[in-house]
A = this chain, B = another copy of it.
């Protein structure tokens, strides 16, 4: 049986709260075995854009990444957030190293077609170079990925962190028994967004379709759950959504996705 590998994605609101982030990183550092951290960017990039007088452009609630924006997200995600996470993990004696998809050619993307909407410098994952990532894990390194990839021709691309996490989990099933954990501020997928105790503990595809059709799921949760089922369909052995309590104790309340 192959070794277990856990891929933990830490979401936006945790990144924006230094105390919460530090607590998550501490819990992450204590987790045994092979592990990879993937982080989003939270609101820092938008706040920073505005400081520079650049108003973030959105279409249908999704960010357009201009030439100026790709520089900003590279600075914030790959520089400020990623390297401070790495330094904190090192302080917790977790031997982290921070990467974009360009590093080691670890995640190659394709710039999204400009039709029907030109999202700018946004990339969709094409190939995960699992041997290089596996080599880092074997070297005793804990990789920390931010939401930046590259196109192989010198262009960095902004790439959804939830998708990076699921694509890493899928690519690494060739070498590990992989588990995917989305860690955010809520205990799991909520039946009622106003009620933090309404966690749906088990969600299979049928339940998911029913929830979706009833418009019960928060918009931001839908693509995350699509990533979850995509991972399960591609041999990722376990997919969960939860908060820091789940990182500390796997028996605490969370949502488990099932095919």
Of the candidates B91, B98, B132, which one forms a contact with A103 in the assembled complex, judged by CB atoms under 8 Å apart? B98
A86 at the interface (CB under 8 A from B): yes
A52 at the interface (CB under 8 A from B): yes
Q: Mark A78-95, 1 if CB is under 8 A from B, else 0.
A: 111011101110110001
When distances are taken between beta carbons in the complex, the residues of chain B under 8 Å from A88 are 154
Of the candidates B84, B103, B141, which one forms a contact with A74 in the assembled complex, judged by CB atoms under 8 Å apart? B84
Alpha-carbon distance A91/B52, docked complex (angstroms): 30
Of the candidates B51, B87, B153, which one forms a contact with A102 in the assembled complex, judged by CB atoms under 8 Å apart? B87
Number of interface residues of A (CB under 8 A): 40
Alpha-carbon distance A90/B136, docked complex (angstroms): 18
A9 at the interface (CB under 8 A from B): no
Q: Mark A132-168, 1 if CB is under 8 A from B, else 0.
A: 1001100101000000101011111000000000000
Are A79 and B90 closer than 8 Å at their CB atoms? no
Of the candidates B52, B83, B150, which one forms a contact with A156 in the assembled complex, judged by CB atoms under 8 Å apart? B83
A196 at the interface (CB under 8 A from B): no
When distances are taken between beta carbons in the complex, the residues of chain B under 8 Å from A84 are 74, 154, 156
Of the candidates B77, B141, B156, which one forms a contact with A104 in the assembled complex, judged by CB atoms under 8 Å apart? B141
Q: Copies of this chain, how many?
A: 2
Q: Mark A87-120, 1 if CB is under 8 A from B, else 0.
A: 1101100011111101111000000000000000
A232 at the interface (CB under 8 A from B): no
Measured CB to CB, the closest approach of chain B to A66, in angstroms, equals: 15
When distances are taken between beta carbons in the complex, the residues of chain B under 8 Å from A104 are 95-97, 141
The chain B residue with its CB closest to the CB of A88 is: B154
Are B75 and A102 closer than 8 Å at their CB atoms? no
When distances are taken between beta carbons in the complex, the residues of chain B under 8 Å from A153 are 91
Are A139 and B132 closer than 8 Å at their CB atoms? yes
A189 at the interface (CB under 8 A from B): no
Are B79 and A102 closer than 8 Å at their CB atoms? no
Of the candidates B71, B78, B102, B156, which one forms a contact with A78 in the assembled complex, judged by CB atoms under 8 Å apart? B78
Q: If the complex has contacts A52-B51, A74-B79, A139-B139, are A150 and B100 also in contact, measured as CB distance less than 8 A?
A: no
When distances are taken between beta carbons in the complex, the residues of chain B under 8 Å from A8 are none
